[in-house]
Structure 1
Amino acid sequence: MKILRDRHRLSVGLLVFLLWQTSYGQTSGDANERRYKAAVRQVQSGQYDQAKKELQSMMDRSNRLAPYAHYYYAVAAFRQRNYNQARTTLKQLIDRFPDWRKMEDAYYLYASASMEAGQYEDALTYLSRISDASLRSAVDKLERHFFGQLSDLRQLKQLQREFPENRNLALALVSLIQRTSSDKADLELSDRLTNRFGAPGTASSGQTTAVTASRTERNRNKGYYNVAVLFPFRIDDFDANRRARNNQYAIDLYNGIQMAKAKLQAEGVTVNVFAYDLDNDVEKAREIVSNPGFAQTDLIFGPLYAEPNKLVTSFASENNMVLVNPLATSSDLIQEQPLAFLAQPSLERQADKTLAFVRSLGVSRKAAIYYGNSRKDSTLAAVYEAKLKEAGFQVIDRKKLSGTSEAMATGMRISDLNKPDHVFISTSSDEDGPRFLAALSRLRITAPVVITASAFDMYKSSSGTFNRRELYLLYPDFVDFTREEVDQFQENYLSRRNIIPSVFTFQGYDMMLFFGRQLAKNGPQVQRRSTLRAEGDDYLLSGFDYRNSNENETVPIVKFTDGRFIKVN
């Protein structure tokens, strides 16, 4: 309760200050305003019943104080532990005033009341709508407080299945499994979640001071380059008989790097690749960078976990080493780090490129945005919405949707008189794409649709899925399998590894090939921005473009045409 009381006390103080400053264009003698401010002071002083009576009369009126009256009425109900009343009031606020400027505070209060009432799915749904960075710490505290109290393993596993991207939920489940279960399936689940999110108690933020090392003669003068690969290989757990491993992506990335090493050698560029088995372990990362031999590194791939990555990035910056983040989409990793790069475009960059493409279609300015269950889905949707509004577009509907196509269609706030001119859909579930398209068809929405490629299972989806409407896929990992270079690479890889390469293999290959060539041209320092672009025929994905920033600005958007996907931007 203290966490929640502190948060709401802060919100009350902030909003009262704003009201005194602006007064909404009214004079200080306005009777309604005086009554409102008096009611807020009663909430602050614990006179909840009296405050609610005053606020109730203001809630029923259509004026600029009405949404604030709803909010403080809910605060009073919450502090009286009347959580259902608080939830009901906040739902009215959200439905009646969807454009209220403090709506994310309402989402947080609604989630808090839902947590107290045991309605965890509802709470997580509303927490996923919060994009305000200033609320991030409060959201983390709220989640950790309540998830740490759950003792029903079945309930916690079900929640984690429904919200697979929530780190606090995953860590709470790991902790409960370790304390209460010896079931093999549970322990395997705990291992998978630990590999992905780290161990309980591992910090998710904060700065670690890197260990520095003395520099020696640059390897460039010796005719070779040293490349360090810091991936979670988990050699101790390796089982050659297991085909499906939860770290298979790391092995595939590394195998792609090795394939590129051979091609670079044929071009006269010698690279020595050193693999380090690094999981979510800061002390192991410190041990690696403290090794005198590591000081001779020119290029680093990884680490893949946040905390080791911070330490290694700091070390690389201090010692003039290029560091590449293979899978991350957060531009925070490269802020004020001139030698750190994202191999993938950030979510903001994806939104920028999508908006530029939509503008090229010449559509009008009404848009609808829908997204799936993961935090990445909601974040991309929020970023795209902000970009649209900044560009003067009107977002007539933005909503998280799931379930059947019928449920999705019911949840879309679209009418025959108010239809979007284009639709943007962000989801990481490969079952959602067909459902979203069917929902739009039910509502007779024929506008262009831009949707993340992760919304489809490309091996199961028929061609009819993609050519029944004007459909475009936001596809950062696009591979054109009709290209001869891709076909040849697959044949070579199959002959060497006796397995078909995955998209991670393609990514590892392209990264090593591009940055290996850059080392040969520029050395470890990024001296000529004009050369930091590659769209050559021998890259398997869509290439790289770092001419303007240290994140990859190449963002493919594709359309299914004549029986295959082609890039249209």
Structure 2
Amino acid sequence: MKPTKPDKKGESQVMNGKVDTIFWTEIDRTKEYNSTIENLDLEKKDSYNVSLLMPFEIERTDQSEVTNNATKLGKMANYYAGVKMALKKLEEEGINLNVNVLDSESGKFDVKIQQCKNADVIIGPRSKEQLKVTANFGRINNIPVISPWKSGSKISENNPFFVQLKTGLKDHFKKIIEHAKSEFSDDQIILLGRNTKREDLTYMRYMQGVAAALNQDNNVKPLQEFYVNEDSLKLGEFAFDSIFIQDQTTVFVLPNWSFLADEDFVYNTVRKMSGEKGLENVVVYGMPILLDSDKIKYDLHRGLNMRICRSSFVDRHSIDVKEFKQAYFDQYAGLPSDEAYEGYDMMVFIGRSMFNYGKKFQYFLDTYEQSLLQTKFDIQKVFKDDQSDDFKNIQYFQNEHLYILTFEDNKFVARQ
């Protein structure tokens, strides 16, 4: 991929033309919304100013890496190329966006954020500390801030101008337990973890709580737990001795997700499990690392009937994906990476939302779901009190869409 290199000082793009009505695939739930949202002034404009804070880090990076999809700059260049493809699509739909691109990780960030004062929406940055500053800036200046790369409950509070497009960690756990319980009985499901890691114990406790809530009874630990001895994964003859259920499917839930902290453990766990299970039928639920790790190959995906919880998935057989792939190749003489699809979907989603709902579009994002190339956006309000539905208590907005990917006919398929 050879996208145009971004200017160090940023660049502006102006999209021209307009139409009255645009149609695309979405599920409209506007009529179900409460009276408060109906009374909002939409503040629609003929064009909107977008500040895009991209983490290029050009000042400290070899710019030859722009064509290497494995590097940070290469990934972000692909993302930006997808954004530019989306801007072209939006222009065709008559949506006018003036986009100012800034390198959030070169130069002084305080200077960059002040350049966003006239923006109608700010997208990025990726750094969590910079994101906290940006979210607060958006709240003070009544500018929606979109976080396409990071999510977390502690980034910003009491902030109805902050939108997280990445689904949270607990949402992944909840989706996994709901899906597993919908297909298997509790006595078939085993939570895996390390009793030497506090995070693993926290994950197990949360998932047990989800299962207990679904059961609506007094059993606070409805699922089995198994603590893996890491030494046995490398040195021992057996790590899962006698845990497999005979004549039934044994369902394992592996919640570890971090490449830095968990990749070796996750790989060694599934490798050892595959070797020990024999002829017993096994299903393994897990996080995106099961698909994204280069160590875990298709033989493990297939042998362990893996089901992976993921917020995005590119179906290479989709007609829309094939058309995008061809258009991308025509533009850049290369094939799009996952980051290119993500950048495209994000920009199309935000552009269409602003066109429909104006400067306060974030309040309307939970009135419809929109399907794009690699994900769906199901944005919901997050409240300080889960029982509340009062605009005063909005903490932020969060995408809650997740797929369960199942391995079928030697390929992954996205299930709801």
The one of 543, 555, 564 equivalent to 2:376 is 543
Aligned length: 344
Q: Which residue of 1 aligns with 2:9?
A: none
| CA distance, structure 1, for counterparts of residue 239 and residue 174 of structure 2 | 27
Q: CA deviation at 1:396?
A: 3.1
The one of 512, 517, 520 equivalent to 2:355 is 520
Q: How far apart, in 1, do the equivalents of 2:164 and 2:148 lie?
A: 6
371 and 427 in structure 1: CA distance in 2 versus 1, 3 angstrom threshold: farther
2:15 counterpart residue number: none
Cα distance change, pair 371–479 in 1 and its aligned pair in 2 (3 A): farther
Distance 1:513 1:460 in 2: 34
Cα distance, 1:462–1:499 mapped onto 2, change above 3 Å: same
Using the alignment, how far apart are the partners of 1:329 and 1:527 within structure 2?
18
- Encode CA deviations 1:187-226: one digit per residue, 9 max, x unaligned: xxxxxxxxxxxxxxxxxxxxxxxxxxxxxxx9943x1111
- Determine if the alignment matches structure 1 residue 422 to structure 2 residue 251: yes
- 2:163 matched residue in structure 1: 341
Deviation at 1:337, TM superposition (A): 1.6
Does the aligned pair in 2 maintain the 1:408–1:436 contact within 8 Å?
no
Picking from 423, 427, 440, the partner of 2:273 is 440
Percent of residue pairs bearing the same amino acid type: 20
Give the AA of the match of 1:362.
F
Match in the other structure for 2:51: 228
Contact 1:219 1:226 (C-alpha < 8 Å) held by counterparts: no
Offset, 1:240: 4.0
CA RMSD of aligned residues (A): 3.4
The C-alpha deviation readout for 1:401-447, integer Å capped at 9, x for no partner, is 65785558744475468999521113445676664334234045634
Q: Which consecutive unaligned segments of at least 5 residues does structure 1 have?
A: 1-217
Is it true that 1:269 corresponds to 2:91 in the alignment?
Answer: no
Task: Answer yes or no: is the 8 Å Cα contact 1:300–1:323 preserved in 2.
Answer: yes
Partner amino acid, structure 1, of 2:224: I
Picking from 222, 233, 239, the partner of 1:394 is 222
C-alpha distance in 2, partners of 1:290/1:505?
28
1:235, 1:374 → 2: CA distance?
Answer: 37
437, 441, 451: which one aligns with 2:286: 451
Selected match of 2:325 from 487, 490, 497:
490
Alpha-carbon separation, structure 2, partners of 1:431 and 1:495? 39
- Paired AA for residue 369 in structure 2: R
From the superposition, tell whether residues 339 and 476 of structure 1 become closer, same or farther in structure 2 (CA, over 3 Å). same
Question: What does residue 300 of structure 1 align with?
Answer: 122
Aligned mates of 1:295, 1:457 — CA distance in 2: 38
| Paired letter, 1:347 | L
Aligned-partner Cα distance in 1 for 2:150–2:113:
21
| 1:36-435 matched pairs, under 5 angstroms | 220-221=44-45, 223-242=46-65, 243-244=67-68, 245-279=71-105, 284-291=108-115, 294-365=116-187, 367-370=189-192, 383-388=206-211, 390-391=213-214, 392=219, 393-399=221-227, 407=235, 410-412=238-240, 415=243, 421-425=250-254, 426-429=256-259, 435=268
Which amino acid is the alignment partner of residue 564 of structure 1?
K
Of the two structures, which has the highest relative contact order with CA contacts closer than 8 Å and spacing of 6 or more? 2
How far is the alpha carbon of 1:361 from its aligned partner? 0.5
CA distance in 1: counterparts of 2:249 and 2:323, whole angstroms: 43
Q: CA deviation at 1:548?
A: 4.7
| 1:499 aligned partner, one-letter code | G
TM-score (structure 1 length as normaliser): 0.53
Judging changes above 3 Å, is the alpha-carbon distance between structure 1 residues 507 and 406 closer, same or farther for their aligned structure 2 residues? same
Structure 2 residue runs of 5 or longer lacking an equivalent are: 1-41, 383-396
Structure 1 contact 466–560 (Cα < 8 Å) conserved = yes
Contact kept in structure 1, 2:239 and 2:272, CA below 8 Å: no
Deviation string, structure 1 residues 79-134 (Cα, Å, up to 9, x no partner): xxxxxxxxxxxxxxxxxxxxxxxxxxxxxxxxxxxxxxxxxxxxxxxxxxxxxxxx
| Structure 2 counterpart of 1:473 | 308
Corresponding position: 1:562 with 2:385:
no
Distance 1:288 1:461 in 2: 40
Would the alpha carbon gap of residues 235 and 459 (structure 1) be closer, same or farther in structure 2, given more than 3 Å must change? Answer: closer
1:453/1:473 contact within 8 Å kept: yes
SS in 1 for 2:252: strand
Q: Which structure: greater strand fraction?
A: 2
Which amino acid letter does the alignment assign opposite residue 225 of structure 1?
A: Y
Deviation by residue 1:280-312 (Cα, 9 ceiling, x = unmatched): 98xx33323334xx3221111112112221121
Q: Cα gap change, 1:355/1:465 in structure 2, threshold over 3 Å: closer, same or farther? A: same
User: Distance between the aligned counterparts of 1:226 and 1:305, measured in 2?
Assistant: 22
- Aligned partners of 2:244 and 2:250 also within 8 Å: no
Cα distance, 1:467 vs. partner?
Answer: 2.9
Instruction: Say if 2:48 and 2:120, in contact at 8 Å, map to a contact too.
Output: yes
- Distance change in 2, residues 1:523/1:457 (3 Å): closer
Aligned to 1:510: 345
Shift of 1:483: 0.9
How many Å apart are 1:552 and its aligned residue? 1.0
Q: 1:245-274 deviations in whole A, cap 9, x for unaligned? A: 433333322222111111111111011211
TM-score (norm 2): 0.71
CA contact (8 A) 1:424 1:451 kept: yes
Change in 2 beyond 3 A, CA 1:417/1:501: closer
In the aligned structure 1, how far is the partner of 2:150 from the partner of 2:228?
A: 23
Say if 2:172 and 2:310, in contact at 8 Å, map to a contact too: no
Preserved CA contact (<8 Å) 1:219 1:225: no
Distance 1:486 1:329 in 2: 26
Q: CA deviation at 1:228?
A: 0.9
Q: 1:237 to 1:451 in 2, by over 3 A?
A: same
Amino acid corresponding to residue 350 of structure 1 in structure 2: H
Contact 1:490/1:500 (8 A) holds in 2: yes
| Equivalent position SS for 1:279 | coil
